[in-house]
Structure 1
Amino acid sequence: MGDCKGNGKGVILSVDDEMIVLQALREQLRSAYGERYLIEIAESADEGLEILDELSDQGLSPLVLISDFQMPGMKGDEFLIQARRRFPTVVTVMLSGQVSDEALERLQQEGGLHQLFAKPWDALALRQSIDAGLAKCP
């Protein structure tokens, strides 16, 4: 199930506690990838993990996870690390206004961080980063 090219339809999941950010991401991702991938959003890391469980139960794998860092409850670094343990080939992207140096280092070591983007992000750069991450998949 770890094939990041996807057997069937893969999933791109965005996690952020700000709905306006999620709506913007969903629109950008649907425009770029909606024909090939399912685009999902979650308003918290806990909700993101629940979605990952549901996807797994349906035989679907996340291809890309985009997460904010600063969220109530579980922070984005912990979410990406937990998700990466379950789905080792997932492309992880942090989209945040603030990330501590410790969290960034941990993400790079344990979460396989592909790229960090500051908010507000550049839509073209995000798409290019996702494309590059997907191209590296085994």
Structure 2
Amino acid sequence: MTKKAILCVDDERIVLTSLRDQIIHNFGRDYLCELAESVEEAWEIIEELNSDEISILVIVSDWLMPDVKGDEFLIRVRERFPNVVTVLLTGQATEEAIERTKQHANLHDYISKPWDESRLVKTLRSGLERIDE
């Protein structure tokens, strides 16, 4: 069983499906790819993976979601799990939100929607390499 995971958080199911398909296509089954349609669901998945001793290596999060914005979520993730690589994937984040995420969540990268698969893969690879250093 895979002991490493990439978590994708977005309130649009079609975005999550695309992310999952692109991650599996480019990384095979090397990483478990988990999907959450809300920040609340993401925390449930994080807790479950943590209790199963599965390391979350990268979290790709949308910014504009109901209840909690992606920058707030990634900052909280960073506080609890400082080694997780964070990526913001959105078409609507403000410059202030991106800067805040860089400063307080150690944002690895920001990708605009619609995204290019090669950019996503490059970002994930560089984030995963950062963990291996």
Give the TM-score normalised by the residue count of structure 1: 0.90
1:109 aligns with 2:84: no
1:123 aligns with 2:120: no
1:24 aligned partner: 18
Cα offset, 1:50, TM superposition: 1.1
Which structure carries more relative contact order (alpha carbon 8 Å, separation 6+)?
Answer: 1
Can you give the 5+ residue segments of structure 1 that lack an aligned partner in the other structure?
1-7
Cα offset, 1:84, TM superposition: 1.6
Distance 2:68 2:28 in 1: 28
1:85 aligns with 2:79: yes
Can you give the 5+ residue segments of structure 2 that lack an aligned partner in the other structure?
none
Q: Which amino acid aligns with 2:106?
A: G
> Alpha carbon RMSD of aligned pairs, Å?
1.1
| CA deviation profile, 1:108-133 (whole Å, cap 9, x unmatched) | 01111011111000111110111111
Give the TM-score normalised by the residue count of structure 2: 0.93
Distance 2:96 2:126 in 1: 25
Is contact 2:3-2:53 (8 Å) kept? Answer: no
1:100 aligns with 2:94: yes
- Equivalences, count: 131
1:12 aligns with 2:10: no
